[in-house]
Structure 1
């Protein structure tokens, strides 16, 4: 304990008894005990705050990596949907019939089949 042996500890106790007397020693011990309890409590609070801060930092890092990952995925989808990554959202494109490409393919098939028709 602090590099103090048994003989040295007895010597310190003897000197304390000689200086302060037997009346003051219990009072000093109580005060020292309260001080140590307060010190331990304060130390535990500081440890808790540091751990809480570390957990918050880890959570922040996790959220940032998740957000970055999500952003990359969204950018990849945007690039795959429109050439050059630019999506044309003008009014004319929004008002056009969404089935127009299907109808164009149907007309091509009709023109290829010509007079041959299926009977239903």
Structure 2
């Protein structure tokens, strides 16, 4: 079952589609869907452009934008330290 970010179930989606068809008619639904698709694509492109501009600006200012890399290094270091301390001890059930 596919869940949307708004947690709408399949039955609710079917009901919404039924209402849309009843209000706008079956011949207008593809046109509406096309318009929504274009709008979503425009929004996605604008978001990607903003992300790119922020990244470029941060790089010019010398700001580290890859925080996750540093966090991953620290986690890996902690794992190695734990393995060194525990050594070959195995948990027995």
TM over 0.5: yes
Aligned to 2:74: none
- Does 1:5 pair with 2:9? yes
**Structure 2 unaligned blocks of 5 or more:** 64-93
**Bigger-Rg structure (1/2):** 1
Q: What TM-score, normalized by structure 2, do the two folds share?
A: 0.62
How far the C-alpha of 1:38 sits from its partner, in A, is 0.3
Asked whether 1:55 is paired with 2:55, we answer: no
Please state how far the C-alpha of 1:3 moved relative to its aligned partner: 1.2
SS in 2 for 1:22: coil
Distance 2:21 2:33 in 1: 12
Output the TM-score relative to the length of structure 1. Answer: 0.48
Name the CA distance, whole Å, in 1 between partners of 2:33 and 2:58. 37
- Which digits, 9 at most, give the CA deviation of each residue in 1:28-69, with x for residues without a partner? 00000000010000000000000001100107xxxxxxxxxx
Root mean square deviation, CA, Å:
1.0
**Where do 4+ consecutive residues of structure 1 move more than 6 Å?**
none
